[in-house]
Structure 1
Amino acid sequence: MNLRVRVSLTISLIGITCVLVMAYMLIDYKRKAIDQEIEAGTRVAIQLLQSILPTPLESAQGVDPLTSLTDYLTSVGRVRANEVRLYDSNNILLYESPPSEYKQGRWAPDWFTSLVAPEAGEVRLPFVEGSILITPDSSRSVLDAWDELWRFSLFILVFFLLLNFAVLLTLGHTLKPIKDIVSAMSQIEQGNYDVRLNSYRLPEFDAISQTFNRMTASLQDALIENVRLAKEEQQRLAAELELEQNRKFTQLIQVKLEEERRAIARELHDELGQCVTAIKTIGTAIASRGHDRQDATRQNAQTIVEVASHIYDVVHSMIRQLRPSALDHLGLDEAIGELVAQYRHQHPQLKISLSSGEGLNSFDENFNITVYRVVQECLTNAVKHADASDVNVTLVLRAGSPERLEIQVSDNGKGMDSESVESQRFGIVGIKERVQAVGGEVRFESDPCIGTSMLATLPLPQETP
């Protein structure tokens, strides 16, 4: 249903409602007016007929009152809107007023008559020789009211028909730009954002046209911007995918590297360690022979023992660097403690403080080795590059979603200038790669007057069901 039909129906409904309301008001007004008119006419008829009724004195003088009344009523005819009937003392009808000649033969509809006609009762005027019956007749007044209502309804009907016709013509001419607007919106729906509307004479449609043109221009700009953002998002997703692949590849490399280190450490411990131990045992046996008096031989044997001991210490140091055995036997907390103790022993001039919380021994091997290598690399940098005298190592578990482990290593060294950053480049990159490989974040802060601080945040590994 289009707008023109809707407006036409609305006007028609309003017109019908107005006609009904006005008809009700007119019917109510006519009902009251007819009631007053009939009542007044009846009152006048009663007064008139009462004035001509014969008195008892006239009846006693022998004058025939019924004949004179009949002649008078015949000459008078109808008394306003009343029917008059004359009866003798035996209730025999002597006279009846003639029917009204006004709009004779026409009658209002029964339903309208029942709405408008008043409920007026008959009035009987008795006298000695008979009685006069007065019956109010409102049929002519009701017919007048019906004719007025019919003419009024016909006028209103013609008026609203003309009004509807005028409104349809006006709307048809006024709403003509809507077709252009709908066509333009259909083109936008199909993806054509270059469409524009012309200017219109009506200010309302002209405002719609200007707003539509601004909207399509904005949509076109937004589409271009969305295409650009989509490309950037696609590039970002590709970069993130590549970064994720690199992270997994780095993690795989770290795992394989640790496996190779573990295998090398095992070979060094099992093969080279046993050989060095055998050499040291043989040298000790040669040097301890009491009957051998060749000082040169004993001295050479002692030298073999010292060199073998040194090789043994070097091998065990290499084994600890390659694969800390404490991780396999004691857990992360004890392994970090052993690492710090080792650096204290190797560098007595360096004061190292360790603070670790509880719950560090429940992680998997990959997570443990990552934490261990990060702390190890920070201690190595503090010893080799920072010239620090004080190092603080802190490991703290943080609750949240997800749970995480914070590693903070700070020293009071000379900080990281451009030269020291270049010398520590591979160590810093190694720390970042290890932390990022497990999905963590790392931040370095350095000041030549304060030192260097490293803060790494590692999300705890999720337990597999």
Structure 2
Amino acid sequence: MSEAAIPAPAPPGFDLKRHLIIRVTLFACLICILASAVIFDQAARRIREHVQRSGATIEQLIARELDDERPSFDRRFDQLQFSMLSELGLLLKLCITVQDIYGSDPFTRCFGTEEARAPDWVTAVLHRWIGDEARYAGLIRRYPGIKVGEFLLNTDVESESAEVWSQLQLVLAITVGVLLVNLLVYLPVRRALRPTDRILDTIGRLEAGDLSARMPRPKLIELRRIAEGFDHLAERLQRTDRRQRQLAQRLLSVREEERRRLARELHDEFGQSLTSIRAEASMVAEDAGDKMPELQPSLTAIGRMTGDMMENLQRILHQLRPVALEEFGLHASLEQLVSSARRARPGCEVSLSVAGEVDDLPDDLTASLYRITQEGLNNALRHAEPQRIDITLTRDESGLHLAIVDDGAGGHRDTRGSGLGVLGMTERVEALGGRFSMTPRAPNGMTVDACFPKRAAEPEEDWDDPSVAGR
């Protein structure tokens, strides 16, 4: 087969509801992450800028406070109040660490407000984002320019993180709002697309052969139009299928009627003619007697050939229309068929199992079951050389199931339905709305399955009733 004839692979499925909620959720999370990153970055930039710009000013304020409030010989900072830095430090949220020239313990004071503390992870992220750049190291001098100590200016991370956390809370609130809107959009979409599950179930029933399945009527206008168009096509398909099955049934009925007519003609014409020939040959043999002994071999051969022809005629008549099928029913006819197979192949064990009442079936179904069993049995005996053949016929609430299982070498038999016998079995089963299959068994053998729906056992005139045709 050429590459152009190879069908293209089907595109992957697309779940609208799932993609809708996933995409909006990812968008909201992405916006939240980007906004949080912007908040941290702006806070870090602002803090570094404030520290660098306010360093020199704070150095002057500290020197002025030392000159105004302390004697010139007192160079310790243990009583330093930073009163001039309070407002500036509170505004900028700074921390100052000072150390005098005597090597005493450093003294630190933070001017941040007593706000609600932020989570530890916010403080840790902000501290890492700021880095070591947000520091200012300066000298503390007293008039006239004498160095009396050093100071280190940095930010009050806890106070800054509280402000950042308040902004992050606003971003999180907006994100939650977007997710809530997403949910509010998802719910009506899911409600509108909920009938798609029932639509898929209806399509599955149609694929399984239930042509009476009909689509639901969704509230969504687009889906409703699709459902109405699909139901219209399903109704046309059901009518066409019903007409085709009725036609196929009619053809089977005509075929069986022709078989009966042909059997009657053969029996009435050829049967009587052969009987007459045999009787005439016997009379000639008696009349000739000892007078014409040379005719005795020919007359004996005529009688023998006439007898063989009568046996062959009986066999053909039985194949065309078994007498037991009309007089004794399907069960007895199948038993007779099995008995004939046992006599024809003594080394093969043939079993028959019938469950349920099968003698009250319509004529078409009865004839089809018999013909399928006959053909399947003949195929197994003629081609497979089996040691065992099991025939099972079951009738229950779901319908009828005929299975012919053999253990012969069935690998060479045609399982594609091209043989005339297999084609005939397939036509009979499909004409009655059933399913036919031939499946090789491991390691050897073949399984012939014919499944008929419950409606096949109904009278033919009931098939036009939609309540029956849908079963």
| TM-score (normalizing by structure 2) | 0.47
Q: State which structure, 1 or 2, has the greater radius of gyration over its C-alpha atoms.
A: 1
Report the TM-score, using the length of structure 1 for normalisation: 0.48
